[in-house]
Amino acid sequence: MSVPLVVASHNEGKVREFRELLAPFGFDVKSAAELNLDEPEETGNTFEANADLKALAAAKSSGLLCLADDSGLVVTALDDAPGIYSARWAGPNKDFAQAMGRVARELHQAGEEPNGAAAYFVCVLSLAYPDGRLRTIRGEIHGTLTFPPRGEKGFGYDPIFIPSGYSETFGEMDPAVKNGISHRAKAFAALTDYLNKERAA
């Protein structure tokens, strides 16, 4: 019998990616939006703090096992911005074209060439149990930025990020390739190890 698991996100692209990555474990994946769960305010000052906060809030509201992530783009020359504010740079309408434009503008203002600027994506996964237990895992992928944005297959900042060793942006890449190498994939690989050990225990 499949185990219900709530992905504590209202982002459809993210939920779809999570559903694909969790498929081998037989979870019955629901999103926070499907269950009408509120999105808590992200008051943490690290990716870990925000992921834990979201997972615990969803677990408490639903009484179910919940998985949350906090992820974002870190640009070295911008003192690690947008970082935990990656979604906020897109504004209330989640306009990532605006957010990507801001990255380019701020790099210019910092006297940096946007094309080729060093950057990396971070994904922190937090698995919260209804009894309040937590498991927190971090994954990263490093690369460079490119402008103008390229590709429409990803979401968020994917069209400006080229992972090291590749020539395509995450926005141009086949989703199966991206899902095999991304920051989220690395965090999920560690989560998979944990879930397998839990299942075997």
Catalytic residues: 70
Sequence-distant (6+) residues with CB within 8 A of 156 are 13, 73, 86, 87, 90, 96, 99
Give residue 60's region: left, alpha or beta (phi > 0; psi -120 to 50). alpha
What's 45's DSSP letter?
Answer: S
Report residue 193 as tokens. Answer: 């190890």
Task: Classify residue 153 by its DSSP letter.
Answer: S
142 SS3 class: strand
Let me know how long the chain is: 201
- Extended beta strands in the chain, E state: 3-7, 27-31, 65-75, 81-82, 118-128, 134-145, 161-163
Token duo for residue 176: 């199966």
